[in-house]
Amino acid sequence: MAEPVLKVENLKKYFPIKRGLVSSLKGEPQRSVRAVDGITFEVGKQEVFALVGESGCGKSTTGKLIVKLLQPTEGSIYLEGNDVTNVRTKEEILAYRRKVQIIFQDPFSSMNPRFRVFDILEEPLLIHGIGETRAEREELIYKVLETVKITPPEDYIGRFPHMLSGGQRQRVAIARALILNPTFIVADEPVSMLDVSIRAEVLELMKELKEKMGVTYLYITHDMSTARYFADWMAVMYLGRIVEMGPAKRVIDNPLHPYTRALLAAVPEPKPERRNIIKELPIRGEVPNAANIPPGCRFHPRCIFAQKGLCDVEHPKLVEYEHNHWAECHLVGKY
């Protein structure tokens, strides 16, 4: 098999909780929020790997670790076979950022409101020393705007972000990520803030760019329907762990983990005649505090299938139950 573009092994990110004076005097142990708690996956060339889960499960933190906005507590990250876990110097970071870019969830807040579209797209070129003259940079900017279907470019380069629609802003954000010709892009909820009618257009554009430019994506989302449409592989995260992983269509058509079933049950019914039918979600309670992870399976307090003396005591391993289809559950096939 070919070497994956991105490989993550036992990746962890803990955020220490500041202790008060009383806690320090009592000698209470340091507590941490375990945002990402030992995940392993790999992404092949020109594949779309989706990370799916509720808010607070660690998806965006994983993306930030990969693009080096955060430093991991433990674990390893490999890009094209090279260990990039401890990339720290300015030169190494710049070289890494040319290969790995990110598309943020909110295109408006991720852009400088005082910058015009031309300035937004020129900034990465200036930082990385691409284009010796303004004319060369302008040519690259016009080309990337045409690539993301912002045409004619001359009508948009002088506009500020607030003068663009939501879909146009997200296309500019995609253009900013593409202008350095990266190998890997982390797309963090890239369509969640767009109208439903625009989402399919943006995802279709990203699909075209994958084929045209050979881009590989980590697609972070809470929307199972867009993940099925856009992703080749899917990993379902819960409280910092991957609880199910496999080909996207197989995970959705044949979910092995109760949490995946709950996420699918929460998807709105597309058929009008069935919208009044109240579906009983196979889940209970609220998400536990990430600083106080329950013992055993971390999903057992909310699982309607949990067995006392097993699920609340022993932490399950991520096991391959079918070819290329893994789940972290003691009861796969028993409910």
Domain range summary for the chain, segments of one domain joined by +: 6-327
Least confident of 273-277, 287-291, 331-335: 273-277
* Residue 5 pLDDT grade (very low, low, confident, very high; cuts 50, 70, 90): very high
Residues 6+ away with beta carbon under 8 Å from 37:
12, 14, 58, 239, 240, 241, 293
> For residue 55, which phi and psi values (nearest 5 degrees)?
-60, 135
What's the average model confidence in pLDDT over 271-284?
58
Residue with tokens 């690259």: 140
Q: What is the pLDDT of residue 21?
A: 67
How many angstroms separate the CA atoms of 280 and 12, rounded?
34
Pairing mode of beta strands 6-16, 100-103: unpaired
| pTM for the structure as a whole | 0.89
How many angstroms separate the CA atoms of 328 and 319, rounded?
6
> For residue 228, which phi and psi values (nearest 5 degrees)?
-65, -40
Residues 6+ away with beta carbon under 8 Å from 143:
none
What's the average model confidence in pLDDT over 102-108?
86
| 6-327 classified as CATH 3.40.50.300 | yes
Least confident of 24-28, 94-98, 188-192: 24-28
Q: What is the pLDDT of residue 211?
A: 87
What's the average model confidence in pLDDT over 312-323?
91
